[in-house]
C-alpha cells in the first residue's frame, strides 16, 4: 500500500475510534480530498468532523488550539510545509505554551501535519523542509513520517498523549509503498529500538551492528534514499552501515542513536533541510559530546545548501541532498580517519 | 434588551462580589470598585518592590467586564488578553488566586508560571500575544457547536489588536461557520502609546459588518449602558447560536503598563469626569457606597496579607 493511502487510513481509523478527532484543512473535502489526496473519502463519511477552511493557515492552527483546549483532538493539515511560517506564532506562543504556562490546568493536544520537501520542481516556496525552525520548541513534538513507521500506530500514540505534535510528511513518500511491518527493505534486517512512550527508532542493517563501520541517521524521504544506497553498497562493495530512522525529531530520543554509534564508532546525519543550525548539527553535537572518546572520527552532517530551492529540475537536484550526495558523504564517513 | 440578567455563582469573597440578592446598582458598583482597587493594589505592590515583571491595569474600563458579566453564565467560556485582570475578577471574583499568581506564588492560578497575562481558571483563559487568542476562542466555539451545547465563547480584544491579520482570518471564519462566538472589542483610544488616529484606518464597526457579523456598538463608561448593550449582543448570539460583536468605546485612565503614560495630561484629566465609578457611584446611596468601599478595602487587605504570607 502506498504511504498516502496508509496515512488516509490512519486518519480514518482516528476518526472512527475517537469521537474527539476533528480534521481541518484547506481543500480537504471530497471530491478533491486534499492537495495530496490524503484525506480523500473522509469528508463524505465524517461530514461534521472533516472541515474545509478558508486559506488561513494561522487560523487553522488557532482554531485547532481552541478545539484542543476544549477537549477535542484536532488533526489539521497545512497544505505545504512552507506555509508553517504562517502558523509560527500559534505553534510557539499558543499551542505549545498553554499546558505548561497554565501549569497543566489545560492541555492543547493539537496535531498539525504538513507535506514538505522538494524533488517536484515546485520552486522556492513550495519545496522547503522548514522543520528545523520548530525543533527545540519546548513542549512541542516534531515527528517525521517514514515508510517504516505505521501511521496508524503513530496517530494512536499522538491521541494517547496530551503533547502537541507537528508531523512532517515528505511529499515524495506519498506514492511509495510502506515498509512498516518488515517488507520492502531488501536483504537487510529491520529492528526497532527506542525509549518507552516514544515512537521507535527503526534500525536497518545488512549485518550485525558490530560489523558496521558507520551509523547513518536519516528521516523521512532521505531515509529511503539512504536505505537504497546502503543496500547497494552492502551488496556490491561489502561496505556495511547501519541506518537509523527516527520518527521523532524533537525532542531527540538519544538512547537508540547512542547504542548504535557506540558500536560503529562513526556517525553521519542526513537531512534535506538547509545546512546549519539544523537537526543534524544537534544530533552530531549531542552524540559527539556523549561519545567523545568512542568515536573514530568527527561526526559528519549532510544537509542541503543554504540557499533558495530552484524550480529548474537539474538545479534543484544539485542543491538538495539526494542519493548522489549521500553516497559521497557515506564513503567519506565510513573510512577510518 | 431581552436577556434576563443572571448572576453567576462565584467563588469569591462576598465583600468583593456581593452577597446573593444584593441590589443591582450596589452589586455593579461593588464589583467595579473591587476591580479598581485590585488594580491599584497591584500597582502599589509594584512600587513597593514585592512584584516583578509587568502588568496592564484596566483602570477606567471596569464597566466593560462588570456589565458584560451580568449576561454570561456557567458553560460560557472567556478568552482574554494582556489586560485581563478585570475580566477575570468579574467572572470569578477570585482575587486571592490572581494576586498569588501575579506575586509568583505556587498557590497562584498557574503556580506563578503564567503571571499577570497568562491565567487559566474554569471557563477562563488569557494569553498576552495580541490577536492570537481570537482563533482559539473560535475553536472553543466550534467545540461547543460539535458538542451540541449552548455555551457561548467570548473573546476580548482592544483597538490596537485590530492591527493583527489573524483577527480578520477569524472574523471570516466565525461568520462563515456561524460560530457561537462573541467578540468584545474594548476601544480605549490608545494602543500602548499610539493614538488610534495613527493606528486605524476606516471605521471599527464596519470591519465587522463587512463580514456580515451583527454589531452592537456603544460609547460609554456607564455600566448600565454597557449592561444594556451587552444584554443585546449576548441575546443575539444566544438566539442564533451564532456570532456577534460588542464594540465598547471607552477610555483607559491609567498608563498602558507601568509608568509609561505620555498621553496629553489634559486629555486624561478630562476623561476622569467619565470615571465609571463616579458615573455609576451616584446611583448608590452615600452610606451604602461607603460601606461597600470599606468592605472591598478590608477584603483586599485580607487578601494581600494572606498572599504575602504564602
Residue-wise pLDDT tens digits, B237-264: 999 999 999 999 999 988 888 778 889 9
SS3 for B163-205 is HCHHHHHHHHHHHHCCCCEEEEEEECCEECCEEHHHCCCCCHH
Q: Give the pTM.
A: 0.95
Point out the least confidently predicted range of A58-62, A274-278, B1-5: B1-5
Q: Does B142 contact chain A (CB < 8 Å)?
A: yes
B242, B141 contact by CB (below 8 A): no
Q: How many residue pairs from chains A and B have C-beta atoms closer than 8 A?
A: 115
Nearest 10 degrees: CA dihedral of B72, B73, B77, B80?
40
- Min mean pLDDT across A282-286, B49-53, B122-126 is at B49-53
- pLDDT reported for residue A251: 98
The set of cell numbers assigned to A245 is 530512522
- Which chain B positions have a beta carbon within 8 Å of A23's beta carbon? none
Interface ipTM: 0.95
Question: Residue B92: what pLDDT?
Answer: 95
**Is pLDDT of B1 > 90?**
no
Distance (Å) from the alpha carbon of B169 to chain A's nearest alpha carbon: 6
From the list B118, B121, B166, which residue is nearest A59 (CB)? B166
* Predicted confidence band of residue B9 (pLDDT cuts 50, 70, 90): very low
In angstroms, what separates the C-alpha of B155 from chain A's closest C-alpha? 12
C-alpha cell at A251: 525532542
B174: nearest Cα among A122, A301, A62: A62
Give the pLDDT mean for B195-223. Answer: 96
The verdict on B205 touching A (C-beta cutoff 8 Å) is no
Phi/psi-derived region of residue B115, left when phi > 0, alpha when psi is between -120 and 50, beta in every other case: left
Phi, psi angle pair for B166, to nearest 5°: -65, -25
Secondary structure of residue B148 in the 3-state scheme: coil
List the Cα angle B124/B278/B158 in 5-degree steps: 40
Q: Which of A54, A66, A93 sits opposite B129 (nearest CB)?
A: A93
Beta strands per DSSP E along chain B = 77-80, 120-121, 124-126, 153-158, 181-187, 190-191, 194-195, 215-219, 244-249
The confidence score (pLDDT) of residue B6 equals 33
Q: Which residues from A are below 8 Å from B169, CB to CB?
A: 54, 56, 58-59, 62
- A63, A100, A105 member nearest B139 (Cβ): A63
In this prediction, residue B8 carries a pLDDT of 39
The shortest CB-CB distance from A94 to any of B121, B136, B169 is to: B136
Nearest-Cα distance to chain A for B176, in Å, is 9
Write down the pLDDT at residue A337.
58
> What pLDDT, on the 0 to 100 scale, is given for residue B2?
33
Q: Rounded CA gap, B126 and B84, in Å?
A: 7
> Over 70: is that where the pLDDT of B218 sits?
yes
Q: Chain-wide mean pLDDT for chain A?
A: 96
List the single best residue of B118, B143, B170 to mutate versus A (max A Cβ within 10 A).
Answer: B143
- pLDDT at B257 (0 to 100): 82
Q: Please determine, for residue B231, whether its predicted confidence score (pLDDT) is greater than 50.
A: yes
Residue B251 phi/psi, 5-degree rounding, is: -155, 140
**A67: nearest CB among B133, B139, B170:** B139
| DSSP 3-state of B50 | coil
Q: Is A253 exposed, middle or buried (0-12, 13-18, 19+ CB in 10 A)?
A: buried
Q: Determine contact: B166 vs chain A, CB below 8 A.
A: yes
| Cβ <8 Å between B146 and A72 | yes
Interface test with B, best of A21, A63, A97 (most B CBs within 10 A): A63
Which residue of A59, A68, A105 to mutate against B (max B Cβ within 10 Å)?
A: A59
What SS3 state is found at B268?
A: helix
- Biggest distance spanned by C-alpha atoms of chain B: 53
Paired strand residues for A23 = A50, A75
* Catalytic residue set of A: 126
CA distance B270 to chain A (A): 38
Amino acid at each position: 500500500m502506498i504511504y498516502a493511502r496508509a496515512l488516509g487510513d490512519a486518519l480514518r481509523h482516528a476518526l472512527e475510534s475517537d469521537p474527539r478527532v476533528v480534521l481541518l484543512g484547506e481543500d480537504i473535502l471530497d471530491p478533491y480530498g486534499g492537495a495530496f489526496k490524503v484525506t480523500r473519502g473522509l469528508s463524505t463519511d465524517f461530514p461534521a468532523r472533516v472541515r474545509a477552511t478558508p486559506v488561513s493557515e494561522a487560523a487553522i492552527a488557532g482554531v485547532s488550539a481552541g478545539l484542543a483546549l476544549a477537549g477535542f483532538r484536532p488533526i489539521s493539515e497545512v497544505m505545504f510545509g512552507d506555509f508553517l511560517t504562517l502558523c509560527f506564532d500559534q505553534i510557539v506562543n499558543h499551542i505549545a505554551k498553554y499546558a505548561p504556562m497554565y501549569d497543566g490546568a489545560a492541555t492543547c493536544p493539537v496535531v498539525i501535519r504538513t507535506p514538505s520537501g522538494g524533488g517536484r520542481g515546485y520552486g522556492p516556496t513550495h519545496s522547503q523542509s522548514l522543520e528545523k525552525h520548530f525543533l527545540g520548541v519546548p513542549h512541542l513534538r516534531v515527528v517525521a513520517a517514514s515508510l517504516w513507521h505505521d501511521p496508524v500506530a503513530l496517530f494512536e500514540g499522538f491521541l494517547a498523549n496530551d503533547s502537541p505534535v507537528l508531523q512532517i510528511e515528505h511529499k515524495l513518500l506519498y506514492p511509495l509503498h510502506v515498509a512498516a511491518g518488515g517488507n520492502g527493505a531488501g536483504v537487510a534486517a529491520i529492528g526497532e529500538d527506542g525509549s518507552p512512550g516514544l515512537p521507535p527508532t527503526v534500525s536497518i542493517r545488512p549485518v550485525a551492528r558490530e560489523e558496521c563501520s558507520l551509523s547513518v541517521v536519516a528521516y523521512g524521504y532521505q531515509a529511503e534514499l539512504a536505505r537504497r544506497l546502503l543496500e547497494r553498497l552492502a551488496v556490491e562493495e561489502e561496505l556495511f552501515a547501519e541506518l537509523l530512522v527516527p520518527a521523532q525529531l524533537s525532542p531527540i530520543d538519544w538512547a537508540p542513536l547512542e547504542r548504535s554509534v557506540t558500536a560503529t564508532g562513526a556517525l553521519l546525519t542526513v537531512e534535506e533541510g538547509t545546512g546549519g543550525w539544523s537537526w543534524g548539527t544537534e544530533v552530531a553535537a549531542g552524540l559527539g559530546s556523549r561519545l567523545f572518546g568512542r568515536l573514530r572520527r568527527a561526526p559528519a552532517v549532510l544537509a542541503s545548501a543554504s540557499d533558495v530551492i530552484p524550480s529548474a529540475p537539474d538545479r534543484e537536484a544539485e542543491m538538495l541532498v539526494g542519493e548522489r550526495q549521500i553516497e559521497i558523504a557515506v564513503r567519506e564517513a565510513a573510512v577510518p580517519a | 434588551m431581552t436577556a434576563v440578567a443572571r448572576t453567576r455563582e462565584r467563588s469569591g469573597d462576598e465583600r468583593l462580589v456581593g452577597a446573593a440578592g444584593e441590589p443591582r446598582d450596589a452589586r455593579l458598583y461593588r464589583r467595579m470598585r473591587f476591580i479598581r482597587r485590585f488594580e491599584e493594589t497591584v500597582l502599589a505592590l509594584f512600587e513597593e518592590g514585592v512584584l516583578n515583571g509587568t502588568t496592564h491595569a484596566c483602570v477606567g474600563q471596569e464597566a466593560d467586564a462588570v456589565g458584560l458579566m451580568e449576561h454570561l453564565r456557567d458553560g460560557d467560556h472567556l478568552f482574554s488578553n494582556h489586560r485581563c485582570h478585570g475580566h477575570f475578577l468579574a467572572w470569578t471574583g477570585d482575587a486571592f488566586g490572581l494576586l498569588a499568581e501575579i506575586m509568583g506564588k505556587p498557590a497562584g492560578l498557574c503556580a506563578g508560571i503564567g503571571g499577570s497575562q497568562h491565567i487559566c481558571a474554569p471557563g477562563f483563559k488569557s494569553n498576552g500575544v495580541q490577536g492570537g487568542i481570537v482563533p482559539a476562542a473560535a475553536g472553543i466555539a466550534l467545540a461547543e457547536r460539535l458538542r451540541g451545547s449552548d455555551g457561548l465563547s467570548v473573546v476580548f480584544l482592544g483597538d490596537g489588536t485590530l492591527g493583527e491579520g489573524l483577527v480578520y482570518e477569524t472574523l471570516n471564519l466565525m461568520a462563515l461557520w456561524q460560530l457561537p462566538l462573541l467578540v468584545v472589542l474594548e476601544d480605549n483610544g490608545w494602543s500602548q502609546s499610539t493614538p488610534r488616529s495613527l493606528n486605524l484606518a476606516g471605521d471599527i464597526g464596519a470591519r465587522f459588518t463587512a463580514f456580515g457579523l451583527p454589531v452592537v456598538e456603544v460609547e460609554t463608561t456607564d455600566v448600565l449602558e454597557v449592561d444594556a448593550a451587552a444584554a443585546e449582543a449576548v441575546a443575539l448570539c444566544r438566539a442564533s447560536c451564532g456570532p456577534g460583536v460588542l464594540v465598547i468605546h471607552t477610555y483607559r485612565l491609567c498608563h498602558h503598563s507601568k509608568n509609561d503614560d505620555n498621553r496629553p495630561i489634559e486629555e486624561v484629566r478630562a476623561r476622569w469626569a467619565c470615571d465609571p465609578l463616579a458615573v455609576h457611584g451616584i446611583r448608590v446611596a452615600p452610606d451604602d457606597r461607603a460601606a461597600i468601599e470599606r468592605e472591598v478595602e478590608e477584603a483586599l487587605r485580607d487578601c494581600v496579607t494572606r498572599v504575602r504570607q504564602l
